[in-house]
Amino acid sequence: MDIRPILFTLRRHKLTCCLLVLQIAFTCAIVCNTIFLISQRLERMRVPSGIAERELVYVQMAYIGKRPDEKARAAADLAALRSISGVKAATLINEMPFDYGSDNSDVRTDPAQRMPVLSASQYFGESAVKTLGVQIVEGRDLRPEEYVDLSDAFALLAAKQYDKLPSAALITRAMADRLWPGQNPLGKQYYVGKSISFTVVGVVANLIRPGRDRLDVGAQYSSVWPISLTLAQGAFLIRCAPQDRDRVLRVAVDKLKALDPNRIVLDKGTMEQHRRDFFQNDRAMAGILLGVCLALLIVTALGIVGLASFWVSQRNRSIGVRRALGATRGNILHYFQTENFLLTTMGVVLGMVLAYGINLFLIVHYELPRMPAVYFPVGAILLWCLGQAAVLGPALRAAAVPPVVATRSV
Amino acid sequence: MFGYYVDLALRSLKYSKVLTGLMVLAIAVGIGACMTTMTVMHLLSGNPMPGKSEVLFYAQVDGTPASFAFTHRQEPPDMLDYSSAIDLWRAGKGNRQALVVDSPVRLTAPDMKQPALMEMLLSTTADFFTMFDVPFKYGGPWSTEDDLRRSRVAVISADLNDKLYGGVNSVGRIMHLHDADVRIVGVLKPWRPSPLFYDVAGGRHAHGHTADYYSKPEDVFTPFFTGLEINDGNFHQYNCWGAPKVVGHLTDSNCTWIGLWVELDSYAMVARYRAFLAAYAAQQTKMGRLAFAYDTRLRSLMEWLEFNQVVPGDVRLQTWLAISFLVICLCNTIGLLLVKFIRRGGEIGVRRALGAARRHIFMQCLVEAAVIGFLGGIGGFVLTLLGLGLVRRQAVPYADLAHLDAGMFGATFLLAVLVSMLAGTLPAWRASFIAPALQLKTL
């Protein structure tokens, strides 16, 4: 179809055309970036944790004050939990994946480094690996004889007896690759502070570190240290079959309360629900973004419908003349569709530039990554489809104009 | 004339209902989205201490121990180590000064037979309440002597008083904190600074996840040293160089964990305090305790909030999104208004032929745009209420703050009318240039 007459007509409506092109450009730019933001959130929510999420329940108890027999009481509590039928493993753990906050230490491969290589979180707790269900891909798990109680570790630190501190550690693949790129991490040493060193005895595939602010910066930078905890320092983490979770949780709380009625359950639940809670803001934000995206497209579509209807009614007579001169309904329909396609294309081209600009702004102000090129055609196709859908109604009405209109005065 | 224009506008709006509906809807949706996020932004980025924020300062000395002088440092840590905090507080160089540190504490009210609670405890010094204009319902704050004597006294929040004592005057009652008995000396009125400015720290490492700065204030307040004594073992460090000897016991550790606020009433005092901080850091570095003498800061409250980028990244992003959304709605409305006015070319031609000047046509069109804007404003107001309702249902600490105040209510309509008049300017200008002769010929 020859587009010259269309362009000629459009030149007579410069202002309205400019407005429409601008609106499409803005919409395209914002929709591109919004879809990108949504995909970012969804990706964040899909982050692998490396743990047996569907098999874990937790109970967090309130601090119950200092008591001399803390270690014995912790052992008794854990024994009681492990005796529940269906429980595969249980531990007292210092922090859980998907907690809002996290404890992190600076890690250096040489104690004299001015800047640490990275900051990583550390998990404590006897048989933490088994309970979490973390997959060891190289080396071995921590051995029971390597464990040291946390309070004892602090006492050793205070006495500067660093050689008696535990020195074996498990680290994640991501952390190993960052610390020693391309090398075998087993047997390598890293430093926390100046005088505490750890030897890597095993590498786990994935183990997410807690902390909402840590997901964007090395989500998998975690280590496991052979340190055991007492009641005041940790939460109970219990592993069982997915279908047993509710029952195990109920029995576990009852048993713990029976062992010491004078304590408060701060929080309890399944790891699945803990993960859901962790991401609830991201989910809400993704929903808001999706809503805005749809609303934008609807508003723009309505704008196109309004303008196109106006043009159709304005050109009623010329349409009649064209029909009388032999143009088919199809010709008229195609005329308006092509016109819309041209305008949308102009808008889309301008929109791409704008989208790139907005992305740069987001990179600077919101630490967002660069938008992959694939989002540009996605936005373009979306706008083209939207334009065609919006113009169809008015165009069909135009096509329905009978040739006899040409003979009327208005 | 204005009344006549409004009448004309209403007639014309009734004449093309669909087009009018589209425009009103576009403005309503744009305004609704914009005002919802603006209201949240307004609530979160406001001044928590209006009229007083200029005289409140957050003091920082770099607590890095001398043995860590090799590390790289651009900013002092956001909190103070114990020795520096106590020294600066004892020196008393400000008009008032308050140390702050919070910790979770187990709490029971022995005479009320309720299960134990876990609440946040703020250990602070007597000046806290006067410095921050904290309102009391019953009783009052403790005295500086109580601070020094480590008196077992406490002030509780209105919420906690309702929960434990059903809202009656509980001054004089004994409460059990951790393992100690404390006597209640004051009950606060509801008090909800936004953000909870005195606890803000570490914002620059939060990557925009700063919603927690808008949580409610602590429920229990005790004198600083009393709190440290009672709740020993439950304190959290902000940053450490070397692990503390006993978990949660930080008074003799290489950790930063205490905040210091000072009230300085004049520029001269601020300058003096700055010099005092610098001199203190220099002296401590000379003594071989601290590593970085040059690293002191004294930021005013609002500077401190800005430094910590307290407004959550998501909220800022939503605001940008809503503004761009409004711009698109504006484009849409301009286009539709243009169509509407040009379509009425005949009518405008008649008016011009009968003697109306260009500016009359221009005014008439602008009034019509404003009427659309007002209608859009009503829709936008309803949508804003709906939007804020959604914000309140979100699981964020500031959810309970989201409400529309009179200022924002007025702003909604003002913005709607302004936006639509802005949208109307171009079409009205075009309409006023419609040549009457050409239009009359086609009638």
| Residues paired with residue A265 on neighbouring β-strands, in sequence order | A61
Q: Which residue has the tokens 């997959």?
A: A135
Nearest Cα to Cα of residue A267 among A99, A71, A45, A82: A99
Residue B379 near residue B434 (C-beta atoms within 8 A): no
Q: What are the tens digits of pLDDT across the range B167-195?
A: 999 999 999 998 899 999 999 999 999 99
Cα–Cα dist A55/A240, whole Å: 5
Q: To the nearest whole percent, how much of chain A has pLDDT over 90?
A: 53
Nearest Cα to Cα of residue B244 among A22, A55, A154, A97: A154
Q: Which helix (H) or strand (E) holds B206?
A: none
Cβ of B118 within 8 Å of Cβ of A232? The answer is no
Which tokens go with A263? 């304590």
Contact residues, chain A, for B321 at CB < 8 Å: 30, 34, 289, 292
Q: Which helix (H) or strand (E) holds B136?
A: strand B136-139
Q: Where are the alpha helices (DSSP H) in A188-268?
A: 245-259
Q: Which helix (H) or strand (E) holds B156?
A: strand B153-156
Type of residue numbered B383:
L
Give the gap in angstroms from C-alpha A340 to the nearest C-alpha of chain B. 15
pLDDT-derived band at A284, boundaries 50, 70, 90: confident
Which tokens go with A402? 């009978």
Q: How many CA atoms lie within 13 A of B380 on its CB side?
A: 37
- Taking the mean position of all CA atoms in its chain, how far away is CA A287? 13
Q: What are the tens digits of pLDDT across the range A109-145?
A: 988 888 889 999 999 988 899 999 999 999 999 998 9
Residue B127 near residue B98 (C-beta atoms within 8 A): yes
Lowest-pLDDT choice from A27-31, A114-118, A123-127, B205-209: B205-209
Q: A20 phi and psi, to 5 degrees?
A: -65, -45
Lowest-pLDDT choice from A54-68, B203-217, B255-269, B425-439: A54-68
Cα–Cα dist A2/A4, whole Å: 6
pLDDT at A1: 61
Cβ of B335 within 8 Å of Cβ of A19? The answer is yes
Which tokens go with B368? 């019509």
Which tokens go with B36? 């919802």
Contact residues, chain B, for A30 at CB < 8 Å: 321, 324-325, 328
Cα–Cα dist B71/B427, whole Å: 64
Contact residues, chain A, for B322 at CB < 8 Å: 292
Cα–Cα dist B432/B364, whole Å: 9
pLDDT-derived band at A402, boundaries 50, 70, 90: confident
The number of helix segments (H) and strand segments (E) in chain B equals 14, 12
pLDDT at B4: 87
Mean pLDDT of A75-82: 91
Minimum CA–CA partner of B240 in chain A? A105
| Residues paired with residue B129 on neighbouring β-strands, in sequence order | none
Q: Is the pLDDT of residue B370 over 70?
A: yes
Minimum CA–CA partner of A315 in chain B? B343
| Residues paired with residue B118 on neighbouring β-strands, in sequence order | B106
Cα–Cα dist B316/A116, whole Å: 31
Cα–Cα dist B369/B23, whole Å: 10
Nearest Cα to Cα of residue A281 among B396, B38, B315, B318: B396
Cβ of B314 within 8 Å of Cβ of A22? The answer is no
Give the gap in angstroms from C-alpha B47 to the nearest C-alpha of chain A. 23
Three-state secondary-structure class, residue B185? strand
Q: Could you give the C-alpha distances from B213 to A189, B115, B306, B313, in angstroms and in order?
A: 38, 28, 13, 13
Mean of the per-residue pLDDT values for chain A? 89
User: CB count, 10 Å around CB of B292?
Assistant: 18
pLDDT at A64: 56
| Residues paired with residue B188 on neighbouring β-strands, in sequence order | B136
pLDDT at A66: 56
Contact residues, chain B, for A289 at CB < 8 Å: 321
pLDDT at B57: 96
Residue B412 near residue B31 (C-beta atoms within 8 A): yes
Q: Is the pLDDT of residue A388 over 60?
A: yes
What residues have CB less than 8 Å from B414, skipping those under 6 apart? none
Mean pLDDT of A199-214: 91
Q: What are the tens digits of pLDDT across the range A286-321?
A: 998 999 899 899 989 988 988 888 888 888 888 888
> Largest Cα–Cα distance in chain A?
106
- A 197-256 → B contacts, CB under 8 A: 212-213, 216-217, 232-233
Contact residues, chain A, for B30 at CB < 8 Å: 299
Give the gap in angstroms from C-alpha B263 to the nearest C-alpha of chain A. 31
Mean pLDDT of B380-405: 90
Q: Is the pLDDT of residue B115 over 90?
A: no
Q: What are the tens digits of pLDDT across the range A225-245?
A: 999 888 777 889 999 999 999
Give the gap in angstroms from C-alpha A243 to the nearest C-alpha of chain B. 28
pTM for the predicted model, two decimal places: 0.83
Which tokens go with A395? 């165009």
Cβ of A15 within 8 Å of Cβ of B26? The answer is no
Cα–Cα dist A312/B274, whole Å: 72
Nearest Cα to Cα of residue A34 among A388, A368, A394, A264: A368
pLDDT-derived band at A67, boundaries 50, 70, 90: low
pLDDT at B205: 83
Residue A94 near residue A170 (C-beta atoms within 8 A): no
Mean pLDDT of B32-40: 92
What residues have CB less than 8 Å from B325, skipping those under 6 apart? A30, A292, A295, A296, B29, B30, B33, B34
Q: B300 phi and psi, to 5 degrees?
A: -75, 165
Q: Is the pLDDT of residue B304 over 60?
A: yes
Cβ of B328 within 8 Å of Cβ of A26? The answer is yes
Three-state secondary-structure class, residue A236? strand
| Residue B177 vs residue A366, higher pLDDT | B177
- Taking the mean position of all CA atoms in its chain, how far away is CA B423? 32
Q: To the nearest whole percent, how much of chain B has pLDDT over 70?
A: 99
pLDDT at B443: 57
pLDDT at A52: 92
Sign of the dihedral through C-alpha B118, B123, B127, B131: negative
pLDDT at A65: 55
Q: Kindly give the pairing relationship between strand B220-223 and strand B117-124.
A: parallel
Give the gap in angstroms from C-alpha A88 to the nearest C-alpha of chain B. 30
User: CB count, 10 Å around CB of A261?
Assistant: 7
ipTM: 0.80
Cβ of B29 within 8 Å of Cβ of A16? The answer is no
- Best mutation target among B241, B339, B393, B398 (most A Cβ atoms within 10 Å) is B339
DSSP secondary structure letters along B234-286: ----SEESS--SBTTB-TTSSEEEEEEEEE--SHHHHHHHHHHHHHHHHHHHH
Cα–Cα dist A290/A254, whole Å: 43
- Best mutation target among A16, A300, A350 (most B Cβ atoms within 10 Å) is A16
